[in-house]
Amino acid sequence: WCCDWFHTPEHRGRFIVGSPDREVAIYDMNKKSILFRLSGSTLAPSSSLTALNQPPTEQFPRVHDLKITSDDKHLILMPHQGNIDVYDLSHFPTVDMVEKNDISMDKVTITRFSRLSVQRKMTCVSLPQVQDPTNPLASLLLVSLQSNELQLWDFKEQILLQKYFGQRQEQFIIRSCFGYGNKLIASGSEDGKVFLWDRINGNIVGVLTAHMADRPVPVSYTHL
């Protein structure tokens, strides 16, 4: 249902695919094959399955969206509802290590770095547009909820920083993103509009008529 590319030259030609069947696959275009499959609960490492540091009674989530951070250090997995899990990819073998057989894939372990307890129905996650991993914005995570709400998290500190309201999101998958140098938050809406918020303060700074130009603007928005 979702995928994202690795970004750095060390992991060139790789991407990760998520699915509601409780499986995440790391695919390598250089080898034209799947490197790893993340699935199930805690299992012994094998040639096709990583070891995860989660309780043996805990099921691997049905993944509806995922993101890889720009430095390829973290993998973020979002289910439809529940917890967002962040996994540590910092020690995942690079392309050169695999090609030179410098490491045995059987011994590679991916550990869970943090968990965000959202416990709401979610539709997507987004990351800010940053290249420098030392940038304080690099740990931000934007989550769209199916309850007319967006949430901004720091996934490293596991802190909810801000909430954004005003858009309609009740039945469909509505996506959101960072923009304008990460100063703004943007989201679609089921009323055919695009909402813009100040990232820090959380206030609406604009409402744009998008796919339904002939639909009247609600009175509450006319002052924007």
State pLDDT tens for residues 93-128.
999 998 888 777 778 889 999 999 998 999 999 999
Is 48:36 a contact under the CB 8 Å cutoff?
Answer: yes
Residue 215 pLDDT? 53
Task: Report residue 90 as tokens.
Answer: 């910092």
* Residues above pLDDT 90, as percent of the chain: 67
Residue type, 207: V
Q: What is the mean pLDDT of residues 168-195?
A: 93
Q: What is the mean pLDDT of residues 158-168?
A: 96
Residue 159 is inside which H or E element, if any? strand 159-165
pLDDT at 213 over 60: no
pLDDT digits (tens, 9 = 90+) for 6-48: 999 999 999 999 998 999 999 999 889 999 988 864 333 333 3
Angstrom CA distances, 112 to 20, 76, 86, 181, stand at: 19, 10, 6, 30
Which residue carries 């909810």 as its tokens? Answer: 160
Which pTM was predicted? 0.85
Average pLDDT of every residue of the chain = 87
Q: Look up residue 43 and give its DSSP letter.
A: -
Nearest to 188 by CA among 213, 214, 209, 204: 209
Is 132:86 a contact under the CB 8 Å cutoff?
Answer: no
Compare 155 and 103 and report the one with higher pLDDT: 155
